[in-house]
Amino acid sequence: MCGITGYTGKENALPILMEGLKKLEYRGYDSAGVAIFDEGNIKVIKTRGRLTVLEDKLNGLTISTTCGIGHTRWATHGEPTDENSHPHLSNNGRFAVVHNGIIENYRELKEKLTGKGYVFLSDTDTEVIAHLIDYYYNGDIVEALIKVRTKIRGSYALGILNSELPGEIIAARKDSPLIAGTSEDGNFIASDIPAILSYTRDYYIIGDDEIARIRPEGIEIFNSDYELVPKSPLRVDWSVESAEKCGYKHFMLKEIHEQPRALINTVSPRVSDDCGIDLEINVTPEFLTDINRIHIMACGSAAHVGQVGKYIIERLARIPVECDLASEFRYRFPILKKNDLCIVISQSGETADTLAALREAKRRGVRVLSIVNVVGSTIARESDEVLYTWAGPEIAVATTKAYSTQLSLVYLIAVHIAKTRGEISDSDARRLVSEIKELPEKLNQVLAKTAELQYLSSRFYNLRDIFFIGRGVDFAVALEGSLKLKEISYIRSEAYAAGELKHGTIALIEEGSLVIALVTQTALAEKMLGNIREVKARGARVLTIATQATAEAVSEASDYCLMLPCCYDMFTPSLTVAALQLFAYYIAAARGCDVDKPKNLAKSVTVE
């Protein structure tokens, strides 16, 4: 959520700041602004609304500046107004601050600062930081920030200008992502790599409780004891084109079609030609054999991956699995034991609730394995072991290829643990890995059904309510299909375990309702046929998504049937979800929705 950019160097800063903010639009925002040096003073231009509104304000300016910071804000404290937009200035104009995150104790700090004579012009928690820095400033801003961080509770990524140090940016972070990019023509700060990728591939990760001084000639990073922290720069290994639409109307559509390649990139390095598995993690066979219970913790779509994982790991490895919403994990006083394994899943590696759940598990002495997409992210760094999904940049807010690559790693984990524990034979393991390796080609076959899915979407895009039903892993995928539809099309949709229909849900089914029935589990096809007939008897129209193995049992009872290629039952989520993603996409496009930037949503949820 929210986006920060900053630049200092040889070039005109304003175009660089604006381009960076545009690259961060996917994170979600409702206002935007910049702070720049203008003849020794800090000038702030900010506004409610989209970046086009900010650009209109900037078009009349004749300022040429080589240093500045920018921000896109997603409202948390205070409505989206011009006054609440970032950057925020200290009363004397000495400091300008942009901030991602939430300051939890801002009320008490605001009361203290008001008593010291500071006047607040906004309803935000961020303005507290600007005044607090000024309060503690005694000629050394790094020293002042070290004091400030001991006074504030919450999460933050900060970009700061000091009018006494034109050409310098100060950055700091805690539990909210921030990087520092470096190039021959200048240096940068940003919330995410796409903001700087047009200018450099080299960057540093600013760690928790670290403070960075960004100057045209270089970058210094300090710890909380004001000691220099030696760091080597990382290098982005994907291209600028990866973060562009490349002819697709929306990033989401492009990323849906990138899924076969993303699966290959994620799976291939971890399997051998003879279908062996090497996860390249430091977990001994003895540990896997002695696992008592697995806890999967995630939020949103990643939690739906966890639901699939529960079915598959329990089926293959015969280990009890609990799948928790990370936002609830700490608050139910979970029972964790020494031989448990926690698996945390996050695309960004910065999801606040998931990070908090990870830290709770670590505090209890439980081993943590993470599945993340962003190299060097906080969750990756704090886990005992990490599996990266090589999905590349995902720009659309609604996740697609990150979900699919997370699924593929869950499959490999399940097969690896099952084989290690002797629950499946070596030949069974090779057969299952072979099935996983075939998924990209089968996924291409699903993506080739574009015309069919466009037609189906055209039939239903004007509905107000849509229901998803399924059993087993199909229910887990139904949750994700429903989420995709509601988050980008704004149609009310709900997913139910099909067996629960008669326990109340069927009261919602009426003439003309659309029920999407997922029927990919061969052993459950007959039971799903009964559920389809139940809703048909009450006037519903039924779109069934089935495999070639299950379609014969249910297609005659359905109004529409979309056929998927056959594969091992437990791996069908990889195919089903692609069809549901395309269905949701084409419905949202037909309704004229902003598919890549759905209202009120942010890509990376870095606050609780």
- Measured in residues, the chain has a length of 608
Q: By C-alpha distance, which of 558, 526, 531 is closest to 545?
A: 558
Q: Is the C-alpha dihedral spanning 555, 558, 563, 566 positive or negative?
A: negative
**Gap between the Cα atoms of 578 and 582, Å rounded:** 6
Question: φ, ψ for residue 457 (rounded to 5)?
Answer: -65, -35
Which residue among 2, 67, 323, 567 is the active-site one? 2
57 has catalytic annotation? no
From 174, 484, 597, 603, active-site residue: 603
The torsion of the CA quartet 571, 574, 577, 579, rounded to 10 degrees, works out to -110
**Cβ 147 vs Cβ 128: under 8 Å:** no
Q: 178 φ, ψ to 5°?
A: -160, 135
CA dist., res. 322 & res. 419, Å (int):
21
Question: In the numeric block, which tokens belong to residue 577?
Answer: 């979800």
The answer to whether 578 touches 404, Cβ cutoff 8 Å, is yes
Residues 477, 580 contacting (CB under 8 angstroms):
yes
Q: Side chain identity at 578, as an amino acid letter? A: A
Bridge partners for 211 per DSSP: 172, 222
Q: With b meaning 16 or more CB within 10 Å and e meaning fewer, what string describes 437-464?
A: bebbebbeebbebeeebbebbeebbebe
∠ CA 293-432-427 to the nearest 5 degrees? Answer: 100
Active site residue 299: no
Q: Give 102's Cβ-side CA count (13 Å radius).
A: 13
* Distance from C-alpha of 39 to C-alpha of 590, rounded to nearest angstrom: 50
Q: Report the C-alpha gap between 69 and 74 in whole angstroms.
A: 17
Q: Answer whether 466's CB lies under 8 Å from 516's CB.
A: yes
Instruction: Look at residues 180, 186, 423, 160 and name the one whose alpha carbon lies nearest to residue 291.
Output: 423
327 membership: H or E segment, kind and range = helix 326-329
Question: How far is it, in rounded angstroms, from Cα 579 to Cα 561?
Answer: 12
Name the phi and psi angles at 262, rounded to 5: -65, -40
Backbone CA torsion sign across 252, 584, 28, 400: negative
- Is residue 257 within a helix (H) or strand (E), and if so which, with residue range? helix 251-257
Residue entry with tokens 């008001």? 114
For residue 127, the tally of other CB atoms under 10 A from its CB is 29
DSSP class of residue 511 equals T
Give the whole-angstrom CA distance, residue 44 versus residue 35.
4
Beta strands in 175-217 (DSSP E): 179-183, 186-190, 202-205, 210-215
d(C-alpha 287, C-alpha 266), whole Å: 24
Residue 411's nearest CA partner among 398, 429, 385, 390 is 429
Q: Let me know the angle formed at the C-alpha of 506 by 500 and 512, rounded to the nearest 5 degrees.
A: 135
Residues forming the active site: 2, 603
